[in-house]
Each structure stands twice: as C-alpha cells, then as structure tokens.
Amino acid sequence: MKTLQTKLTKLFQVPLLVVQLLAAWCVAILVICLWLLATHFFSVNVITAFGLTWPSVLHATWSGCKLLFWYGAFSLIPWQWSLVIPVMWNLASLTGAGLQLVLALLQGNLAVAVLRLAFILGLGVAAFYLALLARKTQLAIPFSVNRAYFRRWWQGLAVNISLNWRWLAGGWALYVLSLAIFNPGHLF
C-alpha cells in the first residue's frame, strides 16, 4: 500500500496527504455502502435486466462528455487540490460499482458481474488518465496573470492528450458502452 501511495505521489506530483485523503474517502464510501447494505439487506435491488438502446447510448455519451468537461474545467485551475473534487466523485462511483460487482457475484449473476467489471475498468482507466492529463496540464503551465494563459493551457492540454489519448479513449469508450447497457435510457 505504501509503494502505491509513493508511486501515485510521484506520478501526480502531489503531497502524500492528497493520496491518503483519497484513500480515506474510498474507505468512508465503502463503510457507508456496507452500512446501507446491512440495514436494507433484504431489499437490495441489483440490476438483472439490461439492454442497449439508442436513448441509453445518448445518455451514456452525454455522461461521458460531462466527465471530460469537468476534468478539463478543473485543469484550468492552477491548484493541485482542485482536482480532488472530480477524483473524489469518481472514486465514490467506483467504490459503489465495486460493491455492486460483489453483490452480482454473490447472487451468481455472471453477465451482470462481467458488465459491472467492464464499467469499473472503463471508468477507472478514464478517470485515472483524465486526472493525470489534468494534473500534467496544471504543471505544464504555471499561472501568470496575462492574456496568454488560456492559449498556453490549450497547448499544454493538447500536448498531454497526444501523449495519453489511446488509454483515455479506450477507457472512455468502455465506460460509455457499459454505462449505456446498464442505463434505463433517459436523456436527462
């Protein structure tokens, strides 16, 4: 665990406190999910029916675009703690999806478990590379009050996208596709 924290600290160039805060957040979300599961154990509703429809694809694509937008917007803020907000949101989603994966496995529903695993992998890879992209963009353009900040930000973002686009696109596509399969199909 210590080596993972050290690797993440070096990769994202953040203090160890940030990584420990995010790990504590995951534990807190897991405890809340388990408490909710324990208090409502007999009324757990795990998705058993799923399908791919045009409205569900539109909704999932819209959700995926919002994911891209929020990381891009937070990369504009030249402060390392700003990225904690979208990362915490995605870690909460991943923790909840992990618990749903365990429930699907306990119920013996292999198809739902495989799709839930695809969702976790897609969101995890997309969120990791989006956070990395946003943090590298923050580091590439030191903040200075002048008119060229947005142009430098855009150039830094373009360079970082060109370095990580394959993993980012693959994770994003897997996230959107698996979300579309689980989604009821409402656009908003």
Amino acid letter for position 131: A
Higher-scoring residue by pLDDT: 188, 174: 174
Extract the runs of DSSP E, i.e. beta strands, from 49-140.
none
How far, in Å, CA of 59 to CA of 188, rounded?
Answer: 7
Eight-class DSSP state of 13: T
What is the average per-residue pLDDT within 154-178?
89
What is the average per-residue pLDDT within 78-97?
84
Predicted confidence (pLDDT) at residue 157 exceeds the cutoff of 90: no
Which residue, 80, 73, 67, 65, is CA-closest to 17? Answer: 80
How far, in Å, CA of 117 to CA of 176, rounded?
Answer: 13
Which long-range contacts link 47-51 to residues 24+ away (Cβ below 8 Å)?
A: 47/100, 47/112, 47/182, 48/109, 48/112, 50/111, 50/112, 50/115, 50/181, 50/182, 51/181
pLDDT, residue 66, reads 92
pLDDT, residue 49, reads 53
Compute CA 53 distance to the chain's CA centroid, rounded to the nearest angstrom. 23
pLDDT tier, 166 (very low <50, low <70, confident <90, very high otherwise): very high
Amino acid letter for position 142: P
What is the average per-residue pLDDT within 76-98?
84
pTM: 0.82
Predicted confidence (pLDDT) at residue 40 exceeds the cutoff of 70: no
Which residue, 82, 76, 70, is CA-closest to 152? Answer: 76
